[in-house]
A and B are shown apart, each in its own frame.
Chain A
Amino acid sequence: MKSYSELFVDSKIMESILPRKLTNAQELRDFNPFLLEEEEDYDYADFEGINDVSKTKLF
Chain B
Amino acid sequence: MDLAYDLLDSGGKRWRPVLGMMFADCFGRDFKQSIKDGDVIEKNGDILYACALTEIIHNGSLMADDLEDKSLMRRGKPCTYIRYGEDYAVNTSTLMYIAPIIKLDTYIKDADKKQRFQDIYQEEMFNIHFG
A-to-B contact residues, CB < 8 Å: 1, 4-5, 7-11, 13-14, 16-22, 31-33, 51, 54-59
Report the contact-size class of chain B (Cβ under 8 Å from the partner).
35 or more
User: Which 10 residue pairs across A and B have the least CB separation, nearest first?
Assistant: A54-B2, A13-B48, A4-B18, A13-B52, A8-B17, A5-B14, A11-B40, A59-B83, A14-B52, A4-B21
Q: Is B13 in contact with A21, judged by CB distance below 8 angstroms? A: no
Q: Is B35 in contact with A17, judged by CB distance below 8 angstroms? A: no
Q: Is A7 in contact with B35, judged by CB distance below 8 angstroms? A: yes
Q: Is B99 in contact with A18, judged by CB distance below 8 angstroms? A: yes
CB of B56 within 8 Å of the partner chain: yes
Known: A4-B25, A16-B41, A57-B84. 8 other contacts (CB 8 A): A1-B13, A8-B55, A14-B55, A18-B99, A19-B1, A20-B5, A21-B1, A58-B84
Nearest-neighbour CB distance to chain B for A14, whole angstroms, equals 5
CB < 8 Å A-B pair total: 90
B-to-A contact residues, CB < 8 Å: 1-5, 8, 13-14, 17-18, 21-22, 25, 31-32, 35, 40-41, 44-45, 48-49, 51-53, 55-56, 78, 82-85, 88, 92, 96, 99-100, 102-103
Nearest-neighbour CB distance to chain B for A4, whole angstroms, equals 4
Which applies to chain A's interface (DSSP): helix, strand, loop or mixed?
helix
